[in-house]
Amino acid sequence: MWLTAHASVEGSSHAAHNLPCQDAHLCKLIKDTDALLCVVSDGAGSSPLSHLGAGIVVEAAYKHFSRLLKEKGWHNSHTPPASAAWHEVAKQAFRGVRQTIEAAAKEARVAPQAMAATAIVAIATPHYLLCSHIGDGRAGYRTTGGVWKSMIQPYKGEYANETIFITSPIWEGNAPDQYIESRVIDEPVDAVVLMSDGCENVCYETTIFNPEKGAYQNKNTPFAGFLDPMIDALHRMYAQGMDTSSINRFLEEYLAQDPVFAEETDDKTLILIAKK
């Protein structure tokens, strides 16, 4: 029941210096279910092996979140879980992801911080939507009434481009509740978008000018003027018989070559989902 397009592309700075893309993503059905699990991970620019960390995050997130979703029976439930229950499961899954990174770092004989990466996880079932994240990036959805809404608030630190990562020291006591945001979306949805922050300036309205205060203020709203045509194009490509691999290549080329994205220095990941 899902139409998807997804790609990760190097930013212009990484391409110019022949550095690997530090973003990673995953978008696939949970086995034997109609639940689509999507993950976006953005490796820390200051961490030398964050491209490996991002890759580990998306694979480990799929493993832990899909297992727990099935254990709870939420994959085939018409009723969404309570927000508190989902948050506890998300924390448990993210702990598993962190442990996977720690094991990989130990094997590579590096500190886990060398593989620092963020994580956004969204699970689209036929009846509701679940989302949880650590760090920055953006994620939103479109109601069947055509209204785009955000489903995460990206974590921004005190300084520019500062955020937190799976490997950050946020796991003691109740600290995870301050840094892990979880949402249950229980309203009719026909499209979903996830992205790393390399796409947010095009795909989101991130600031708005307040004339009363004479200053710009933070905003966190998916930009319908960009996203609606992208979802329409996704429907058209499937209707024309294009296969998923071809659609993903088209999106990859678009993120790499289109003028609105080509000069973006940061790596770019975009996942688009639409109901058939």
Which pLDDT tens digit goes with each residue over 171-196? Answer: 999 999 999 999 999 999 999 999 99
Rounded Cα distance between 139 and 40, Å, is 10
Helix (H) / strand (E) element for 193: namely: strand 189-195
Average pLDDT over residues 76-80: 92
Rounded Cα distance between 158 and 194, Å, is 24
Both ends of the chain: CA-CA distance in Å?
A: 5
| pTM (predicted TM-score) | 0.95
Residue 245 exposure: Cα atoms within 13 Å on the Cβ side? 0
The whole-number pLDDT of residue 156 equals: 79
Domain limits of the chain? 2-275
Pair of tokens at residue 107:
């094997």
Residue 221 exposure: Cα atoms within 13 Å on the Cβ side? 11
Nearest one of 92, 90, 98, 99 to 118, comparing CA atoms? 98
| b/e per residue 165-186 (b: at least 16 CB within 10 A) | bbbbebeeeeebeebbbbbbbe
The secondary structure of residue 117, as a DSSP letter, is: B
The whole-number pLDDT of residue 158 equals: 59
Residue 83 has pLDDT above 70, yes or no: yes
Structure confidence by residue, pLDDT tens digits, 251-260? 999 999 999 9
The whole-number pLDDT of residue 127 equals: 94
Structure confidence by residue, pLDDT tens digits, 86-113? 999 999 999 999 999 999 999 999 999 9
The whole-number pLDDT of residue 3 equals: 97
The whole-number pLDDT of residue 19 equals: 83
The whole-number pLDDT of residue 12 equals: 87
| DSSP state string for 140-161 | EEEETTS-EEE-------SSTT
Selected from 3.40.50.920, 3.60.40.10, 1.20.120.1810, 3.40.50.300, the CATH number assigned to the domain covering 2-275 reads 3.60.40.10
Pair of tokens at residue 110:
């590096």
Rounded Cα distance between 76 and 69, Å, is 9
Rounded Cα distance between 106 and 88, Å, is 27
Place 159 in a pLDDT band, splitting at 50, 70 and 90. Answer: low
The whole-number pLDDT of residue 160 equals: 55
Question: 216 versus 271: which is more confidently predicted?
Answer: 271
